A and B are shown apart, each in its own frame.
Chain A
Amino acid sequence: DSGVTQTPKHLITATGQRVTLRCSPRSGDLSVYWYQQSLDQGLQFLIQYYNGEERAKGNILERFSAQQFPDLHSELNLSSLELGDSALYFCASSVGGRAMNEQFFGPGTRLTVL
């Protein structure tokens, strides 16, 4: 158990819908990361927050948005869903927000768009 929790574990929805994925980091970790894992794209970095502020941005679509709240939990919002958004979405956390900080991954949220 990494100490990072993600809810829900599974999500099944339809095209065009909007969903919210939630992540609670390990106690004491200030940085949260979101990654998408799919068969065709592999593991892709989406976005990083550090203590409530956006720190780095990757291949995140405009239909996707995220935020980190004052209690440090984070939410990833996916809207106007398409079939290709079906993937495993991982959240990770680390103490600092730098390259050498170890990231601890949650178990993931499996999103299926029908």
Chain B
Amino acid sequence: GNSVTQMEGPVTLSEEAFLTINCTYTATGYPSLFWYVQYPGEGLQLLLKATKADDKGSNKGFEATYRKETTSFHLEKGSVQVSDSAVYFCALSRYNQGGKLIFGQGTELSVKP
């Protein structure tokens, strides 16, 4: 079946450090891929997305590239800030399943000043 696997957290970084959160997926065909972010006490917000192979999604300094050959969609940011502390979810959606999102388990990021 379709699934998403993320690296385990929590991840603790110092401000201005480089961030990578790994995400791999299992799905037939060409799913759409997403990164959502959940700040404490809030709902999820879309961070970025990519809908086809080799697409790069980017937003607020975060980037992720849809790699079909490695079935991956790793999230990166060159210099994290304290305000980036949140839980990050990788997700996929299949074209023939409406808008159903399948989420990874989430990775908690804590950025220290």
Q: Say whether A associates with B.
A: yes
* Chain A interface (Cβ < 8 Å from any Cβ of B): 2, 4, 31, 33, 35, 42-45, 48, 50, 55-56, 58, 90, 92, 94, 96-108
B residues near A (Cβ < 8 Å) are: 31-32, 36, 41-46, 49, 51, 89, 93-95, 97-106
Taken together as a complex, chains A and B put the C-alpha atoms of A106 and B42 apart, in Å, by: 8
Provide the residues of chain B in CB contact with A35, threshold 8 Å: 101
A106 interface neighbour in B31, B32, B43, B105, Cβ under 8 Å:
B43
B residues in contact with A98, CB < 8 Å: 95, 98-99
Task: Tell me the bound Cα distance from A103 to B100 in angstroms.
Answer: 10
Question: Are B105 and A102 touching (Cβ within 8 A)?
Answer: no
User: Shortest 3 CB-CB distances between A and B: which pairs?
Assistant: A56-B98, A105-B43, A99-B93
Alpha-carbon distance between A35 and B43 when the two chains are bound, in angstroms: 11
Given contacts A2-B45, A97-B99, A105-B45, 15 further A-B contacts (CB under 8 A): A33-B101, A45-B100, A45-B101, A48-B99, A56-B97, A92-B44, A94-B99, A99-B31, A99-B32, A100-B32, A100-B51, A103-B101, A105-B44, A107-B42, A108-B43
Given contacts A2-B45, A99-B32, A100-B93, contact A48 B106 (CB under 8 A): no
Q: Are B103's CB and A42's CB within 8 A? A: yes
Taking a contact as CB atoms closer than 8 A, the residue among A43, A45, A58, A90 that contacts B106 in the complex is: A43
* Residues of chain B within 8 A of A48, CB atoms compared: 98-100
Distance of B96 from chain A, by nearest CB (Å): 8
A58 touches B99 (CB 8 A): no
User: Given A42-B103, A45-B100, A45-B101, is A99 in contact with B43 using a C-beta cutoff of 8 Å?
Assistant: no
Q: Which residues of B contact A90 (CB under 8 A)?
A: 43-44
**Contact residues in A for B103 (Cβ distance below 8 Å):** 42-44
On whether the beta carbons of A101 and B43 are closer than 8 Å, the reply is no
Contact A4 B98 (CB under 8 A): no
Asked whether, in the complex, the Cβ of A99 is within 8 Å of the Cβ of B99, the reply is: yes
